[in-house]
Amino acid sequence: MARVLIGCETSGIVRDAFLALGHDAWSCDLLPADRPSNRHIQADIRDVMRDDWDLMAVMHPPCTRLCNSGVRWLSAPPDGRTLPEMWRELEDGAELFSAVWNVSHIPCVAVENPVMHRHAKERIANYQKPAQTVQPWQFGSDPAGPDNEKKRTCLWIRNLPMLRATGTLDGSSARDSVHKASPGADRWKVRSKFFPGIAAAMADQWGAHAETALAASDAIEE
Report which residue type is found at 23: H
Q: Residue 46: pLDDT band by 50, 70, 90 thresholds?
A: very high
Is pLDDT of 77 > 60? yes
**How far is the C-alpha of 181 from the C-alpha of 54, rounded, in Å?**
35
Is pLDDT of 59 > 50? yes
- Residue 154's DSSP bridge partners are 113, 133
Q: Residue 217: pLDDT band by 50, 70, 90 thresholds?
A: confident
Q: Tell me: the pLDDT tens digits for 146-186?
A: 999 999 999 999 999 999 999 999 999 999 987 555 555 55
pLDDT for position 192 = 57
The architecture CATH gives domain 3-221: 3-Layer(aba) Sandwich (3.40)
Is pLDDT of 40 > 90? yes
Give domain limits for the chain.
3-221
- Residue 100's DSSP bridge partners are none
Tell me the CA end-to-end span of the chain in Å, nearest whole number: 18
CB 109 within 8 Å of CB 206: no
pLDDT for position 222 = 57
Is pLDDT of 188 > 50? no
Query: Is residue 159 left, alpha or beta, with left meaning phi > 0 and alpha meaning psi from -120 to 50?
Result: left
**CA-wise closest residue to 49 among 35, 64, 29:** 29
Whole-model pTM: value is: 0.90
